[in-house]
Structure 1
Amino acid sequence: MTAPGPLSVVLAGGGTAGHVSPLLATAEALLRLDPATRVTVLGTAEGLEARLVPAAGLDLRVLPRVPLPRRPTVDLLRVPGRLAGAVAAARRVLTEVSADVVVGFGGYVATPAYLAARQARVPVVVHEQNALPGLANRVGARLTPWVATTFEGTPLRGAQRVGLPLRAAVAGLDRDALRGEARAALGLRPDLVTLLVTGGSLGAQRLNDVLPAVRADLAAAGVQVLHVSGRGKTVTVPDLGAGPGAGTVVPYVVEPYLDRMDLAYAACDAVVCRAGAGTVCELSALGLPAAYVPLPVGNGEQRRNAEPLVAAGGGLLVADADLTPAWVRTTLLPLLADPDRLAAMAGAARAHGVLDAADRLAGMVVRAATGGTP
């Protein structure tokens, strides 16, 4: 599909990588369709978008955050005024850039963007990352027939499953071709089974506590670790010394955050991770077997994100409280030592994944902007 002419597209979302990554992937896909497309991003000053959107060469316009209190407090009384101010700010941006369409990915700025688009009579496209939708996208889905989801069965009216938009660096990743370079760049050995541990952009203290505690067991099994801890999170890795002979050290590399997650994915053979939508979809699309440890708070959306993939044989599911050193020794280490089982799990994951979601969503955005039908 090619766009009929240059469009002005406003993408709204931010906060964590779960919102920012699919937003950036969609921007890439829109610019592949037509490099003349004007892409403007609505985000916050505090989220990852404040750094990643300008780094991608895109125009970021900052809106005030409008968090909704989870309980009735005095802050609830301030929400209408804050929301009205954010809607007015979003409306000014839509007017300035002559927006043809607004695409929302959830988060603090999505609701003001949806309401501003409704006022300005600009078409809205909603993309929901998780199996259970957030409040912003539940609002947005009531304002438009253009609703896209990552997973089947997401309870939004008129939803079409397109998958999760993945950036080209991930969707087009040749893990085998990049593995040697990736391991060298990350301080890993080229010859060892490699486990990636990641709690997402914010990290996960449970993973940060349990995996280092079994470093000796992992090293004894010849498993090296790349551990992405999350900024501000603490990881204490026991020092095992140099071992009995030169060259026998098994690395345990800790990085607070990686902009180049494609290198991490290329370097590893398996993953222990949370079950955010972005993580589940990236790993399945790349055929990476994983043990998913859903966040134990919230409305259970992370477990729902991972369940279909696990049921298809593409991963393991372990409750946060059950992720213990004993579980690593009795369940994870035998998996890492079984290449045939890892290969079968990788194949099942790859069969479940979607690589072209960004192009699917970009096509929907163009149709919405040009008067098409859902």
Structure 2
Amino acid sequence: MKVIVSGGGTGGHIYPALALIKEIKKREPDAEVLYIGTESGLESEIVRREKIPFEAIEITGFKRKLSVDNVKTVLRFLKGTYSSKKIMKKFKPDVVIGTGGYVCGPVVYAAAKLKIPTVIHEQNSVPGLTNKFLSRYVNKIALSFAESEEFFPKSKTVIIGNPRAQEVVETTTKQGGLAIGLKPDKRSVLIVGGSRGARPINEAFLEVLEKVKESPYQYVYVTGQIHYDKVMTEVERNGNPDNVIIKPFIHNMPDVLANVDLIVARAGATTLAEITALGLPSILIPSPYVTNNHQEKNARSLKDNGAAIVRIETEMNGQQLLDDVHDIFTPGKWEEMHKAAKELGKPEAASDFYRLLVELTQKAQ
């Protein structure tokens, strides 16, 4: 199988793509994969680091309001489509996959015009502009959330989940918790705001650091690189409790996820795919700074199924955080949420996605 994958802008579009590529290569070691992205996006660094062949095109996203920049974007789109067609005529892919971000627009559109089988993957419960645009041209639309079905032609949709979920389940080990100092006989809580951290989550936890000393639970507190020094100054002023492990960033996050009992986090699609695959109860504080407020909608889908507590930023404070942790660890509650999260999880998402690709390419032959 020869596959072109495109996705960029944020890790939420790139990491599911990488998880799918790993699954394809596991199933078909001789498969050829080419990734198309932009030089300015995160994908140019992350994908090349994985030694995956990479081609770049130039494209920018549309502004949601009327703007002269949108005229330039249309011209770049046409140029990006032309560049993508040239790449495809040379590479001759059997299928082209878009995992989100504006770079997918010209790439997947070009493939559809060349009559190459196409799939887009929508990670969020509310789709972005690019996937809405592409939905009328592609053969299949793979969804992570059932809630996003209403935005797409029903005949094309299939609920797959997020390939990253399977990667997390298959790569976790019980050594991850020990490596960062967790005690296996104690309930543990992971507090994390993403790779850059989240100021409201940090502030809430620091507010009750003194009370945390008395807690029967242990905490792994990931501040984010940009907040670490400021947080440590505050911690040194108040004294660092013995039951709190503070890190600026964790590289082996799947291993840590597999060794904690509860997570406090934002509600990005990839995070939710990981925690549901592992059956991890959560306290979710959605970022209000994302398109279409999609993080809150992602989070509500877990809450509505009993797998999470959702707190918007204006509701979050230190005491509320401690109360929610205590509530989840009351007898029977954690077990209920664990079961609910597991039922939402798609731990075979990458395998199911691969089977969808095989089905599409066989039909095209």
TM-score under structure 1 length normalisation: 0.87
Number of equivalenced pairs: 356
User: Are 1:274 and 2:266 an aligned pair?
Assistant: yes
Equivalence map 1:104-115=2 (5 Å): 104-115=98-109
Cα distance in 1 between the residues matched to 2:159 and 2:240: 51
Cα distance in 1 between the residues matched to 2:324 and 2:112: 51
Equivalence map 1:62-73=2 (5 Å): 62-73=56-67
Sort the Cα spacing of 1:167 and 1:91 in 2 relative to 1 into closer, same or farther, 3 A.
farther
Shift of 1:230: 3.8
Q: CA RMSD of the aligned region, Å?
A: 2.3
Q: What is the identity, as a one-letter code, of the residue corresponding to 2:347?
A: L
Sort the Cα spacing of 1:141 and 1:223 in 2 relative to 1 into closer, same or farther, 3 A.
same
- For residues 200-225 of structure 1, the C-alpha deviation after alignment (integer angstroms, 9 at most, x for no partner) is 34432221322232222223204333
Give me the identity figure in percent. 27
The equivalent of 1:263 in structure 2 is: 255
Shift of 1:167: 5.7
Pick aligned residue for 2:294 from 292, 298, 301: 301
Pick aligned residue for 2:239 from 218, 238, 241: 241
- Check the 8 A contact 1:200/1:279 in 2, yes or no: no
The equivalent of 2:163 in structure 1 is: 165
Cα distance in 2 between the residues matched to 1:204 and 1:372: 46
Unpaired runs of at least 5, structure 1: 1-6, 244-248
Cα distance in 2 between the residues matched to 1:362 and 1:43: 21
The equivalent of 2:325 in structure 1 is: 332
Cα distance in 2 between the residues matched to 1:228 and 1:67: 32
User: Are 1:288 and 2:280 an aligned pair?
Assistant: yes
The equivalent of 2:14 in structure 1 is: 20
Cα distance in 1 between the residues matched to 2:260 and 2:54: 33
Sort the Cα spacing of 1:38 and 1:305 in 2 relative to 1 into closer, same or farther, 3 A.
same
Cα distance in 1 between the residues matched to 2:165 and 2:36: 19
- For residues 307-335 of structure 1, the C-alpha deviation after alignment (integer angstroms, 9 at most, x for no partner) is 23222221111112111113113322343
Q: Counting helix residues as a fraction of each chain, which structure ranks higher? A: 2
Shift of 1:8: 1.0
Q: SS in structure 2 opposite 1:232?
A: helix
Equivalence map 1:1-374=2 (5 Å): 7-154=1-148, 155-157=151-153, 158-166=156-164, 168-173=166-171, 178-179=173-174, 181-233=175-227, 236-237=231-232, 238-239=235-236, 240-241=238-239, 249-256=242-249, 258-297=250-289, 298-336=291-329, 338=330, 340-371=332-363
Shift of 1:149: 0.7
Q: What is the identity, as a one-letter code, of the residue corresponding to 1:103?
A: I
Unpaired runs of at least 5, structure 2: none
Q: What is the identity, as a one-letter code, of the residue corresponding to 1:207?
A: I
Cα distance in 2 between the residues matched to 1:300 and 1:267: 30
Cα distance in 1 between the residues matched to 2:212 and 2:42: 33
* Further displaced range: 154-163 or 298-307: 298-307
TM-score under structure 2 length normalisation: 0.89
Shift of 1:271: 0.4
